[in-house]
Amino acid sequence: MSQHPRDVLLGAQARTGTLPVCDHYSGVEARMRKSLQLQAELAQEFGSVVFDVTLDCEDGAPVGGEKEHAALVTELALGAAPDARVAVRVHPVDHPAFEDDIATIVGQAGHKLVHVMLPKVETVQDVERAARALDAAGAKNLALQGLIESPAAVHRAFDIAAHPRMQSLSFGLMDFVSAHGGAIPSAGMGVQGQFTHPLVVRAKLEISSACHAHGKVPSHGVVTEFKDQAAFRAAASRAANEFGYTRMWSIHPDQIRAIVEVFAPTANEIHKASQLLAAAEAAGWAPISFDGKLEDRASYRYYWQVLERAHATGRQLPDDARGWFATARP
């Protein structure tokens, strides 16, 4: 019996799982409800859930209304469709509302969540504290994702990414820039400056590298220019193709489809990956000659990940590749 490509090619390097390439954030009730509806609509269009919906407590909850907002998020998560992918961003571990967020939302709706986003992660100890809170709420298998937002956190990104509970790291651009006390100009938060200012570029690359070193998913953070689609798509392309990010935040519904399209492989890439892997499987995953080039398990691994990304973005797969995902591992 032939082995599944994921088992053969990833092995010990298997990732935490293939995540949708887009993570959409909303914290206002009407927008949260609309986001869940849009997720269902696009899932029907693409044949799979192509973005996560993260219900936001940190920026969504009004000051003094944290408990009420947590109750609302719990209600929305519990009411989500069975195949929905719903997450929550709680308050930081040092915020007075953190424990209540976990006890209320995770304690009641943890079984409906795909992850918990932990903002302002500074140390591994922050991750440990959050993991203990999840365990105490009865969610021992629920993944954590972390938001790196300060120079010190960037310095510790490799250690944070190494934590077994951590699934993905994101970069908090706005807080990172403001943490420099004016040393980085405001242009460093813009659609162009965040890809050119040396300190911001360094931080993005550190986070991406830390994730790849430990088999975690690097998620590019906010690009606020949602009305300029050309500028936004260019930023998404740079995040994916130059900075090594395999996932990106959306803060407006108009950004979702652009992220999915930019992060998806092209039809030519999908076709080549399918043909090459079919030939490799027929050869028992031994080295082969393909289009005049020597290919082996290193390149097979790359092309398998192309197909995983194609599947996660709802791309049309050739017949000989479709069967692999009918039995794909979680």
User: What does the domain layout of the chain look like in residue ranges?
Assistant: 18-263, 266-323
Question: CATH for 18-263?
Answer: 3.20.20.60
Non-local CB neighbours of 139 within 8 Å, separated by 6+ positions: 106, 110, 111, 113
User: Residues of 41-52 as b/e, b for ≥16 C-beta within 10 angstroms?
Assistant: ebbeebebbbbb
Residue 11: what pLDDT?
Answer: 60
Distance spanning both ends of the chain, measured CA to CA: 20
The pLDDT, as a whole number, for residue 330 is 44
pLDDT 10s per residue in the chain (330 long)? 467 888 888 764 554 457 999 999 999 999 999 999 999 999 999 988 999 999 999 999 999 999 999 999 999 999 999 999 999 999 999 999 999 999 999 999 999 999 999 999 999 999 999 999 999 999 999 999 999 999 999 999 999 999 999 999 999 999 999 999 999 999 999 999 999 999 999 999 999 999 999 999 999 999 988 889 999 999 999 999 999 999 999 999 999 999 999 999 999 999 999 999 999 999 999 999 999 999 999 999 999 999 999 988 999 899 888 888 875 444
Beta carbons within 10 angstroms of residue 59's beta carbon: 13
Give the closest residue to 17 by CA, choosing from 312, 313, 323, 322: 312
- According to the model, what pLDDT value does residue 16 have? 43
- Please give the helix or strand (H or E) that residue 311 lies within, else none: helix 297-312
SS3 category, 195: helix
DSSP state letters, 44-75:
HHHSS--EEEEEESTTTSPTT-HHHHHHHHHH
From start to end of the chain, where are the E strands? 22-26, 51-56, 86-89, 113-118, 143-148, 166-171, 217-220, 247-250, 288-290, 293-295
Altogether, the residues listed in the chain come to a count of: 330
